[in-house]
Structure 1
Amino acid sequence: MTATAAGSGAVVVLGSTGSIGTQALDVIAHLGAHPGAPGEPGRVPTPRVVGLAAGGGRLDLLAAQAVTHAVPRLAVSAAGTDVVSRLRAALADAAARAGRPDPVAEILTGPDAATDLIAAAGVGEGDVVLNGITGSVGLAPTLAALRSGATLALANKESLVVGGALVKRALRRPGQVVPVDSEHSAIAQALRSGVHEKGLTSPTLTGRSEVRRLILTASGGPFRGRRRAELAGVTAAQALAHPTWAMGPVVTVNSSTLVNKGLELIEAHLLFDVHPADITVVVHPQSVVHSMVEFIDGATIAQASPPDMRLPIALGLTWPHRPDLAGLVTPQAWSESTAWAFEPLDAETFPAVDLARAAVAASATHPAVLNAANEQAVAAFLDGRLRWLDIVDIDAAVLEAHCGQPEPGLDDVLAADAWARARADELIAARTR
């Protein structure tokens, strides 16, 4: 089974002003500036950006991106009568400063703007939708991208966690989803190296009989090595001080609790059709080995690279081809002395991974409930309304109270999400009285 080569046509970037989106546009600019000679290794077609979507908190940046990449359509999820006028003013200013024309012919606004953008851009097979939106709001655009036939470069792990069954049903061909999370990109790369199947280009697992288990690596976050009793007074600033990755606040807090790794375990289970019991999490503080695949003969294939998200983003845009990223991504310095460590996960201090396994085992809607409760708890923690230690406790309590459904539809998933948020808010309020 083969996947259509991505990156040969148009690209829509969702969440363009966030961490993933800005780095994706850096990659696209690099590919355009370094096209290489025909037939040269690493030469890939330059992606053509036809749409950008953002939340609306950084309209000046969105406007600058649109002008730089000559993007004809923009989507802003923020509502309000002044959003379009403010964005138009920002576009005029950005165009004047760059000495370029304002390219934007259409601006979509409102909560469904990102989903509407996919249809308006007219993307299809041979094109790419990069979903870099944070949170469960990314599910609807994920489903729209799959329905369009475009390749989905997926950085929004919540799409799979919340609506895994819906996403799998929406697939129009094998390999339509290319993972962008560094861990899942690493697994896809390792599988492509190790699975014996003629013509394998799909980033999803098709030769799983050769695979014994997947190994997800975790940096351990800023609190690696601490015991639970030492974490009672953790502040938001401490939780946001990640030792190796620069990410958005929600993902960074999730990394500090290891909820992020629990969500990634669920994502790996769904992407690669591997039972959660056969997915192991190990702590690797250097964040150089991004994940591994252990095969039935005892061999383990690991993908190693510097902790730079632009590499998996580039693969998401150009899969199954590897673009030449010289000058953008600095390779590992093999001429220097290097030591890598791998440590077992302290599940007593960081129970989130086991909680994710329990969610998968419980029902198809329990992962959505875990994600929704966690989003509410993280928001409360960042607002100073909840202790760091309470985040996973709230997640566990909401999961325990949920009655799941075996084969949910979209309405069922959305109802479970809404219920979990309301229940989490009740528990948060009870702890802050």
Structure 2
Amino acid sequence: MLGATGSIGTSALDVIGRHPDRLRATVLAAGCNVEALLSLCRRHRPLHAVVADEDCFEALRDGLREAGLDTRAHAGAGAIEELAASGECDTVVAAIVGAAGLPSTLAAARSGKRLLLANKESLVLAGELLMAAAREGGATVIPIDSEHNAIFQCLPPQPAGNGNAGLPDEAMRAQVARLVLTASGGPFRGRNRDSLRQVTVEQAVDHPNWSMGPKISVDSATLMNKGLEVIEAHHLFGLPGSRIDVLVHPQSLVHSMVEFVDGSTMAQLGLPDMRTALAVGFAWPDRIGSGVGGLDLLACGGRLDFEPPDTAAFPCLALAFRALEAGGTAPAVLNAANEVAVSAFLQRRVGFLSIAALVEETLAALPATAAGSLEVLREADAAARRHVGALVADAPVPA
């Protein structure tokens, strides 16, 4: 469980705890929140616990000893990669936020794990490389984002082990007319661009439907989250951006849809709770209890609304489509620029509308080049971070 102390990790461990006869968390990894990790270790008693911050190693080791646990302590990004690829686990939940999750996700893919992919940045930054590693390593990739998990459920099951990572092959893709990703619209749905100038951090992280971390919540508020998901869907399901659409669906009950060439549309519905997608990931092709109740449409208001996204007020979605069309290093630049811009917003160093402006300026300043290796993508990522960092340093602090 990579990212054990975050919102995805909490949900995943809840599902695991409901099935002690079938599931066990053997490796728990976190950034530097030692106390939260120790609390999880006392409950789940993993074989290994690891913190990315090496300065936290002694606190973790001593805390495990004081708790009387046999859990082995580790520290550092290298240790997380090694454990993700080791024989100590057969399934890896990749939920480390941001580009920092890429190395461990790649390690799990190359090692042939069942990969429950909740780290969207890995696909945005290096989607072609990650999917190639999964196919070559014999990994089974099951997306955990609710939208991609919905599409995964709507498509006929694809057996893993035949070079397709458990995802649709060419024959299945030919039967799909388009994918429709749904978006809640975030906390500012319906507002125009001018009304967003004074948005506060507290308002941006207050999502109306989902409980998520601050970075993902801000991405939802700007619609960048949906833009990143479009790029994810391209890599996961092998369809071009021209066959991927986005609809705003404020109830967040229809998680996504697949339109087939015969005119049929399949949709997956459910309450907005990540435990459903995680249960699918753990048990696929079986079904197990997730702790999420069934969907009562009448109790939910008896209606489902849809509307087009407003890319004038929320330009990040259009920027993501533009980066996908440009290809090469453009998605990596988009992702890195957004991470730095969102961090600056959360630190109250720039305003809400500056997030999209910083990303757009960075895409213009760093044109796409071929992305044939992880090194090239890392260089593009670093260049984008430097560029946005310099822009933020020169920007006036919002009043």
Residue 168 of structure 1, CA deviation: 2.0
* Matched position secondary structure for 2:389: helix
Structure 1: distance between partners of 2:178 and 2:138: 21
**Alignment map for 1:21-420 (pairs within 5 Å):** 21-32=9-20, 46-57=22-33, 59-80=34-55, 83-93=56-66, 95=67, 101-104=68-71, 106-123=72-89, 127-171=90-134, 172=136, 176-192=140-156, 203-206=166-169, 207-325=172-290, 328-334=291-297, 336=299, 337-420=301-384
SS at match of 2:353: helix
The structural deviation recorded for 1:148 is 1.2
Q: Which residue of 2 aligns with 1:41?
A: none
Larger deviation, residues 346-355 vs 174-183: 174-183
Instruction: Quickly say closer, same or farther: Cα 1:334–1:233, change in 2 above 3 A.
Output: closer
Amino acid at match of 1:128: T
Change (3 A) 1:30 1:419: same
1:17 corresponds to 2:13: no
**Root-mean-square deviation (Å):** 2.1
In structure 1, list runs of 5 or more residues that go unmatched: 1-12, 36-45, 96-100
**How far does the alpha carbon of each residue in 1:332-372 deviate from its partner, in whole angstroms, 9 at most, with x for none?**
12453511111111111111121111111213211011000
1:173 shift after superposition: 5.8
Distance 1:216 1:122, change over 3 A: same
Measure how far apart 1:416 and its partner are.
0.5
SS in 1 for 2:97: coil
Render the CA deviation track for 1:383-429: whole Å, top value 9, x for unaligned: 11001001011011101111322242111111110000000111112
> 1: CA distance between counterparts of 2:298 and 2:132?
47
Question: Which deviates the most, 356-365 or 333-342?
Answer: 333-342
Cα distance, 1:122 vs structure 2: 4.1
SS of equivalent residue, structure 2 residue 210: coil
Unmatched runs of 5 consecutive residues or more in structure 2: none
- Normalised by the size of structure 1, how large is the TM-score? 0.86
Partners of 2:363 and 2:138 in 1: CA distance: 32
Over 3 Å counting, the alpha-carbon distance change for 1:407 and 1:382 in structure 2 is closer
> TM-score, normalized by length of structure 2?
0.93
Residue aligning to 1:7:
none
Using CA pairs below 8 Å that are at least 6 residues apart, which structure has the higher relative contact order?
A: 1
CA distance in 2, matches of 1:247, 1:345: 21
Structure 1 residues 173 and 115 mapped into 2: Cα distance closer, same or farther (>3 Å)?
closer
Checking the alignment, whether the CA contact within 8 Å between 1:74 and 1:117 is kept in structure 2 is no
Q: Which range moved further: 335-344 or 258-267?
A: 335-344
Kindly tell me: are residues 334 and 407 of structure 1, through their superposed partners in 2, closer, same or farther at Cα, counting changes over 3 Å?
A: closer
> What is the aligned residue count?
391
